[in-house]
Structure 1
């Protein structure tokens, strides 16, 4: 089953907590695009897009959209004072130089070692992998936002990915509608659950080995 709008926004709100003052951040397509609306207003951060903006803002008010301003997914965005525009080659130069503090991406599967599969389902037509490989390899911190299970109820957090990999051991955090995990030294640590789920709910619907912290916090 797909996630409801409210749940998608709660995942985005939790991800925004990881963004700190002074960071340069890239937001992927899907749930990650929602994160821009939950970043604290007093933080001095710069949002980067693969299509050539540094200083992107959140969603514009309805009726004030600019057809020339969009994120990498093609959705309307606003810009912050001091924003700059450039071509995709420069945008990817910023990524490949390792200048991004955080990238927040969606995924189809993530393994307990942090392997990420997020660009293709075999047999499905896609336009290409986009910037996924560059972002997942070069950003200083990689946060994955996704459903805990697929539409058939199968775990998306697994021991080993069955789908083609984007990058090996690239994920630092995974945030789903049920929990927040940290990937460290080849292990998956459960440090936080999302209300109203329980630790047992998370264990039963995760297809990977989990190290459960002694103290688990709850995100409302």
Structure 2
């Protein structure tokens, strides 16, 4: 199985030259560490940063330069800073090619729940609602099961929804799956993980081809 860095490394393969990419909180923030050196990508954060780089090395952090999750970041040459109104006009105006988000649940029809667990206090949905409503390509980075070993890829989300029918692809610690009209389609399996393992850990409708290649990281 993959760890969080492994998930981020696999998702980095989906990032193409010239893309503007928004990284959500959690595993998605790690993607910037694994993008190929031979392509140019602009990472955007909804708190008002365009041109984020990898995480800083220990001792080189600047507390004034942070992402939407309040983590210290680096910036690339030519990076810019702006207010959240401009940031969200970029998002709502569909100027972001790819959005990478974490999730607590994803349903077989592409619904996503990633902002609230009932009974736990949260400040609000943040930028997630705008991101899922405006992005044409959404990839979810998540663990395949929760801490109890229960599937997070479901027939129907049980938690409050962030967006409806919007997720295109899911990369977990066990697999890469696309979301189609008829459910999840297994594309790749993580090293050391069998198709049977993935099937047992997926509650939603799962379509399995005759051959499922192992991820190349």
Q: TM-score range by the shorter chain?
A: over 0.9
> Partners in 1 of 2:39 and 2:164 — Cα distance?
32
Q: Does 1:219 align with 2:200?
A: no
Q: Deviations over 1:117-141 (max 9, x none)?
A: 1110111101111111111121121
Query: Between Structure 1 and Structure 2, how many residues are aligned?
Result: 216
**Structure 2 counterpart of 1:30:** 26
Give the match's secondary structure for 1:208: coil
Matches within 5 A, 1:124-203: 124-203=120-199
> Partners in 1 of 2:44 and 2:135 — Cα distance?
12
Question: With structure 2 as the length reference, what TM-score do the two structures score?
Answer: 0.96
**Structure 2 counterpart of 1:19:** 15
Question: With structure 1 as the length reference, what TM-score do the two structures score?
Answer: 0.95
RMSD: 1.2
Q: CA deviation at 1:186?
A: 4.3
> Partners in 2 of 1:207 and 1:186 — Cα distance?
14
Unaligned runs of 5+ in 1: none
Unaligned runs of 5+ in 2: none
Q: Does 1:60 align with 2:56?
A: yes
Q: CA deviation at 1:144?
A: 0.4
Q: CA deviation at 1:93?
A: 0.6
